[in-house]
Structure 1
């Protein structure tokens, strides 16, 4: 009798092992069947007539050649040293609408925080660019933060994309600044907790280089929320921003091994990013269409 029970027990163990292996195999197969997400990123453009022409040419070439499913503009649609006149917002709006690809845009400090009247500048930005992506048909549902309607997110092929209002430069109103950073951090944290089991990677779109030594302390409220949230998520995170004008690719928070930071070059310079969740490191960067 004991021998029969041992046989049954052994069969149960073998059955469990087989089922577990099949389940793992199916998960891996399903992961491999998920298509990579390909998108383009630009920032800090156009600055003046020459860069305006370059942006128009870039859009024509992007429309003709790019495989990207969407494009993100990482802020700064004008130089910081010229007035924030409405015609500039209207002009860039009319240029970006020529993309055939759904286009998202986040705030830069030059068209908001550096303006003589930031409140009026933010009003103009919202008039021309709030939910700019809704000018195109997009296959995925884009959600917006209740507390800060310029912040957005969506999930595509197990990748969570998050855009936030994170600008640098002047602190006009300490309370407003701290509340905005808190809202940004909470938005990311809540999404990472809520969607952790549905996603395999995250891309955060921001404008500011929050790692400049003389600036970093101003962003502590944000990083105190963002970094622990990314650590607890424990899957690959890409923090993609403009602001600094030169190409950077590093892991500046070395103690948070899962966060990659990329700063894009200023101007209408091709940058195609692929997020392939079947790879251990899912982010691939190409400076071409």
Structure 2
């Protein structure tokens, strides 16, 4: 329940001590051994009091399955609850409950939407800075009790944009969010258009995200790897509604990058996102896809497929991603694993 935020100081300190990352702990199980291994993906969780209460138990269930690591693709709260400081600390403690590494990329609910009155009327860029101070206090290192090293774009101010490589699969986790990547007006604090500060921040963050994706592809091509997987919050190809251009315009440079990089790569490309809350599997950039026309991009990417993870009120499972042995028909395979409670 939300009352977890009001735990006595001693109990909070004890939880932090128990959940603190063990820097000397061994690497996550299975991530460097030959053969297949699995990792978990979650997103848009926890949403609301019931899920806040259930979240530690869900983490325990993921721990019991012992994935090599877990990726949270953003939105650690719903869009109609407050963005107050203690909440971020509580979720970080939850993240450090993961036995193996936890890699997190921010979603829109924890910063871009914080201008809303029911979120506390915060300045979103201040909330973004605070989010980074909580979750990325040690750039280049994941969260979790057995943290792993990642290559982060810390030098450019984006420690959340990271790459890592595991057994012939290159992964990029990038900070790309809904609300048109934060180009929607902050109406809750009186704006009718995106501010110059918003535009400058989005342009710089998108450039970093694109550079991070390109870095993953460069590594995969240089090492002749079999797959690239990209993780982000925004559903740039949401099938549940017909977006206006000002809902998605910010994503066009990344969409073109995905096409260009995928076409130049001989392996498979996987895009895994949250945001729209309903599991979906498709090939949004394949030849003939209407999204190619919607975005006005050139070319297509028939080797790219994606998955949207369940979230929000539909958050009843986590996504198990198995990296199959070399020579398998598909580099990655996917399974939705239901929570038992």
**Same-fold status (TM-score > 0.5):** yes
Q: Secondary structure at the match of 2:142?
A: helix
Aligned counterpart, 2:272: 240
Structure 2 distance, partners of 1:103, 1:35, is 22
Post-superposition Cα deviations, 1:201-236, rounded to whole Å, max 9, x if no partner, equal 111110000123333322112212222012111311
> Where does the alignment leave 5 or more consecutive residues of structure 1 unmatched?
1-32
Post-superposition Cα deviations, 1:59-87, rounded to whole Å, max 9, x if no partner, equal 122222x1310011110001112221111
One of 298, 323, 334 as aligned partner of 1:285:
334
Aligned 1:1-289 pairs, distance under 5 A: 34-64=34-64, 66-116=65-115, 117-130=123-136, 131=139, 133-138=142-147, 141-145=149-153, 146-147=155-156, 148-169=158-179, 170-171=182-183, 172=194, 173-198=198-223, 199-212=225-238, 213-214=243-244, 215-255=247-287, 256-266=301-311, 267=315, 269-276=317-324, 277-288=326-337
Structure 1 distance, partners of 2:303, 2:252, is 19
Tell me if structure 1 keeps the 8 A contact 2:272–2:307: yes
Does the C-alpha gap of structure 1 residues 186 and 129 become closer, same or farther in structure 2, counting only changes over 3 Å? same
Structure 2 distance, partners of 1:91, 1:141, is 23
Tell me if structure 1 keeps the 8 A contact 2:43–2:75: yes
Post-superposition Cα deviations, 1:10-48, rounded to whole Å, max 9, x if no partner, equal xxxxxxxxxxxxxxxxxxxxxxx9422310111111111
CA shift for structure 1 position 176: 2.2
Tell me if structure 2 keeps the 8 A contact 1:54–1:268: no
CA shift for structure 1 position 54: 2.1
Aligned counterpart, 1:20: none
Q: Secondary structure at the match of 2:270?
A: strand
Structure 1 distance, partners of 2:66, 2:77, is 27
Structure 2 distance, partners of 1:271, 1:108, is 18
Aligned counterpart, 1:18: none
Post-superposition Cα deviations, 1:105-145, rounded to whole Å, max 9, x if no partner, equal 1010000211221121112211221156155435x641112
Structure 2 distance, partners of 1:189, 1:106, is 18
Does the C-alpha gap of structure 1 residues 106 and 48 become closer, same or farther in structure 2, counting only changes over 3 Å? same
Tell me if structure 2 keeps the 8 A contact 1:56–1:95: yes
Structure 2 distance, partners of 1:180, 1:226, is 16
Q: When you count helix as a share of all residues, which structure comes out higher?
A: 1
Tell me if structure 2 keeps the 8 A contact 1:186–1:225: no
Structure exhibiting the larger radius of gyration computed from Cα positions: 1
Q: Secondary structure at the match of 1:91?
A: helix
Structure 1 distance, partners of 2:36, 2:260, is 27
Tell me if structure 2 keeps the 8 A contact 1:75–1:242: yes
Structure 2 distance, partners of 1:226, 1:242, is 17
Structure 2 distance, partners of 1:115, 1:151, is 21
TM-score, normalization by structure 2: 0.70
> Where does the alignment leave 5 or more consecutive residues of structure 2 unmatched?
1-32, 116-122, 184-193, 288-300
Structure 2 distance, partners of 1:59, 1:98, is 7
CA shift for structure 1 position 264: 0.2
May I ask how many residue pairs the two structures share in their alignment?
255
Relative contact order (C-alpha < 8 Å, sep 6+): which is higher? 1
